[in-house]
Structure 1
Amino acid sequence: MNNTAGDDEELPLDGQAKPEPTGASDAPARRPVGGSQAEQDAIFAALVAQFDDPVDLNNPEWPEIENLRAKEVRRAPKGELDDLAPQPRPRPAAGAVGDPRAYVAAEDPDEGHFVPPEPPPLPPMDTTARFAWLAVLGGPALLLFDVLVWREVSGWPAWVGVSAFLGGFVTLVARMKDRDEDEPEDPHGGAVV
């Protein structure tokens, strides 16, 4: 027979059947972890069967196994700190108490921050690119002006605005370069491990 500390409830040994509860109010006792698969299945089935049982909220019963006894409380050996004892806080540095906002952290002279290089200047635009950007931005601006002034967009101003936007967009896309001429050919496509 295997008893828990001070409890008279029997716990099953390996290979034995679990004891049957004696009443409806008996809560299942805590069993050691492990055991056979059949024991674990039986414990789980008992827990599932008790899931929908009503609970008496006026007289809650605390399982006896959960109560700590004075002799069971773990005492730390002499010279070893108790795990549950409060740990002493470090004392603040000596000196005058001042404004906490006046504190300045000591800076490491070599912080190792990454400073990105200056970006290269934009390439000079040729006349075709300038007119294409003027058309892409000017076409919608003309349509917006028409809406604000005449309250409707129709006739030749609408046709000019839409055509300018589409023409400028197609021109910019057609003139896009696939690669920079300055960069050497990369067989890996930039992915190097």
Structure 2
Amino acid sequence: MTNPFHEPAESGDSDDSVWEDLVRRLEADPTDPRSPATPGSPTPENPGTPGAPDASSVPAPRPVDPQLFRMHPALTGPRDYEAPEDTDDGEFIPEVPPALGSGNPLLNLAWVCAAGAPIALVLLTIFWRRAPAPLWVGLVAIAVAAAIFLFARLPRHRHDGDDGARV
């Protein structure tokens, strides 16, 4: 016989029979009169505790409204997202970029000087170590002046409506 109070099994009890009884009680429907009684539930042999409501006086559970389990629209999560119907085919077509030589010629010259002068200094170091000092100083001055010019042309304020998505 199984232990109704879930105490440890005695030496004569079989663990398999205790386990089978536990599974049988858990799978049983509590509203079914043929299901085995759980310990402490009122039966003809055990009328229950005095002062406890009778099983016939307990109201039947009300049906649950499924709307209770729907989330408020403000409390939705990432799995509740539904993608809107997309009218385009999703293909991105970028604008045709302007030619490299177009634009402000002074700005183009500054970029060439800012990148070309350090490259020229590296090439002078490798191939012509005895180059005249004014050439070395001139290349450093050109690189620094071009960098200062480019930094001076950077925008100082953000434009309204610019989200930074375009370079």
Q: Which of the two has greater helix per residue?
A: 2
Give the TM-score normalised by the residue count of structure 1. 0.35
Give the TM-score normalised by the residue count of structure 2. 0.39
Larger radius of gyration: 2
